[in-house]
Amino acid sequence: MKNILKINLVTSSALLAMVFLLIYPKQTIYFAKSGLLAWFNNVIPSLFPFMVAVNIITSRSGNAGFPRFLTRPFGKLFNVSENGFIVFLFGLLSGYPLGAKIAADLYCKNQIKILDVQKLMVFCTNAGPMFIVGTLSCAVLNSVKAGYIILFCSILSNILTGAVINNSILKFTSSAEKTVFACCDENKKSASAVQNSCEAVIRVGGYVVLFSVIGGMLEILDVTDVFSSLISSFLPISSYDIKSMLSGILEMTCGVSSLLNSPSPLALKSALGAFMVSFGGVSVIAQCADFLKETKINIPFFVLCKFINGMLTSVFTYLCITAFL
């Protein structure tokens, strides 16, 4: 019954989207082009080189030759395989959705177990430092110091979330006894680093374009305006900021960009932006879920952890900026 309802919901949504495309073809093409340009100008240059490098590294060994004085404390602190250190490192350096892809690749190569993937996803998917310090702080908040504070708070919240959840909720999970996934596509295993990275970047581009169109549909239909006005009547936050948050929950980049014209104080704008970059948005979560589909991990639990990360980062950021800026 549940699967039937899910299929009917997806089918109905697709049909409604097709009707919308026929009614508003010009606007739809505009939003699709915007998403495509954002992918071409921003995602490919920043993500593709990292993906190629990581594919080369992980083809050799799980921990990529990192010294034990780094990997062993990492494994002890987060109660996870030491091979996951590369997921944390490159997920932090490159940003979404590379952490999820590396974890899935290590799983397919039998270098980590399914529970390790679940634990790594608690804290190893982050926004890239260049996006936080560059786009968010310089272009939107006009404060480099605020960007570094958000970056620090994001890393801190991920470490706290990973250490607490992995050593409590996931410590005695029964799936720890499950064997590694042994049915990955053999073509994927033997694919070159460039071929594998090209495929991954194209998949990410598809989601960027898709959610650009969805966001445009909601904007044309005034859905975000209605909800933002309704929510702002209950919270001491302007409807403009609520609208930015709703946009960011759907697609992180759009929400962050809309904060540029927010009349709110720096501390509040930074806290809102911090939540968006730490949570990631539905678009990023969908990208991560696509890469993780072969691992069969608990995606709702992954989303919950991202929400916790977002809330912690937002609170830490607000407190730090209020105290130091």
- CB burial of 234-259 (b: ≥16 within 10 Å; e: otherwise) equals eeebebbbbbbbbbbbbbbbbbbbbb
φ/ψ of residue 97, rounded to 5: -100, 30
* Cβ-proximal residues to 212 (8 Å cutoff; 6+ apart), any chain: 31, 32, 34, 35, 38, 251, 254
**Is the Cβ–Cβ distance between 312 and 160 less than 8 Å?**
yes
- From first to last of its 325 residues, the chain has per-residue pLDDT tens of 556 766 666 677 678 778 877 888 888 888 888 888 878 877 788 778 878 877 777 666 555 568 888 889 999 999 999 989 989 988 888 888 889 999 998 898 888 999 999 999 999 998 888 888 888 888 888 889 999 999 999 999 999 999 999 998 887 665 444 444 444 555 555 457 788 888 888 888 888 888 888 888 888 888 888 888 888 888 788 888 898 888 889 888 888 888 888 888 999 999 999 999 999 889 999 999 999 988 889 999 999 999 999 999 999 999 999 998 7
Lookup: tokens for 248: 């960011």
Largest CA distance in the chain: 60
- In the prediction, which pLDDT does 54 show? 76
- In the prediction, which pLDDT does 179 show? 46
Count Cβ atoms below 10 Å from residue 17 Cβ, excluding itself. Answer: 15
The predicted-structure confidence for 56-68, as pLDDT tens digits, reads as follows 776 665 555 688 8
**Is the Cβ–Cβ distance between 268 and 318 less than 8 Å?**
yes
Q: Transcribe 94-108 into DSSP letters.
A: H-TTHHHHHHHHHHH
- In the prediction, which pLDDT does 40 show? 83
